[in-house]
Amino acid sequence: MAAFRLSYAAFSSAPDYPSPMQALLEFLPLVAFLVAYYLHGMYAATAALMVAMALLLVVDLVTLRRIPSMHALSAALVFAFGSATLILHDQRFIQWKPTVFFWLVSAAFLVSFWVGERPLVERLLGKALGSEMRVPEALWRRLNWLWIVFYAVLGVLNLIVAFNASQKTWVNFKVFGLTLLTAAFIAGQLAWLSRRLTSRASSAAT
């Protein structure tokens, strides 16, 4: 979930956490999951993830006086799939959690074509680009489709690794692979847009 900081910020008008606290909070559930897994295995890691998410929600309430939408969604899925994992003693439930999360995010981008004044990707990346950058509406819509496909594919990729690789490989992929892929995708979008808009502005000036 840490790589979704920009994503859930798009749904919220509340102030961000201070940067050091934000970094710690965003990665706390992943770190707790990874450490617990290597110390005590999958079921301890699932329990640690649930506790870390609960703590994150408490800090949200204390710090922001509200729970950001992405935190609420992720926590609901962690509690639901985590409880099923522990009660039924079946790791497949927690392995499905990232996929369901990604597919719900993909669906949110799709629905944003009809709900709200702007596609979700415009609400997300528009803040990062700044008010001086003007992006054509047609380009925002194409990018929104790209995000829909990206998160849908990411959900499928998680299932492929979860059910065709070793448990350890999936844990590392969940913590490092999914996070890096998402962060690289967002960073790549911002870099591409910035270069494109800067190049267009330079051409117009000449």
- For the chain, the domain total comes to 1
What value does the mean pLDDT take over residues 153-173?
97
Residue 74 falls inside a structural domain: yes
Give the pLDDT of residue 104. Answer: 95
Residue 90 falls inside a structural domain: yes
pLDDT above 50: residue 12: no
Give the pLDDT of residue 132. Answer: 59
What value does the mean pLDDT take over residues 83-106?
96
Residue 152 falls inside a structural domain: yes
What value does the mean pLDDT take over residues 56-60?
89
pLDDT digits over 108-139, tens only?
999 999 987 888 888 877 766 665 567 788 88
Query: Is the distance from CB of 181 to CB of 113 less than 8 angstroms?
Result: no
Residue 151 falls inside a structural domain: yes
Residue 100 falls inside a structural domain: yes
Residue 205 falls inside a structural domain: no
pLDDT digits over 147-161, tens only?
999 999 999 999 999
Instruction: Give the N- to C-terminal CA distance of the chain in Å, as an integer.
Output: 43
What single DSSP character describes residue 52?
H
Banded model confidence at residue 9, pLDDT cuts 50, 70, 90: very low
Residue 102 falls inside a structural domain: yes
Give the pLDDT of residue 96. Answer: 97
Banded model confidence at residue 6, pLDDT cuts 50, 70, 90: very low
**Per-residue b or e along 49-58, where b marks 16 or more CB atoms closer than 10 Å to that residue's CB:** bbebbeebbe
Which residue has better confidence, 196 or 145? 145
Which residue has better confidence, 78 or 130? 78
Other beta carbons less than 10 A from residue 89's beta carbon = 10
Residue 206 falls inside a structural domain: no
Query: Is the distance from CB of 16 to CB of 6 less than 8 angstroms?
Result: no
For residue 96, what are the domain limits? 2-200
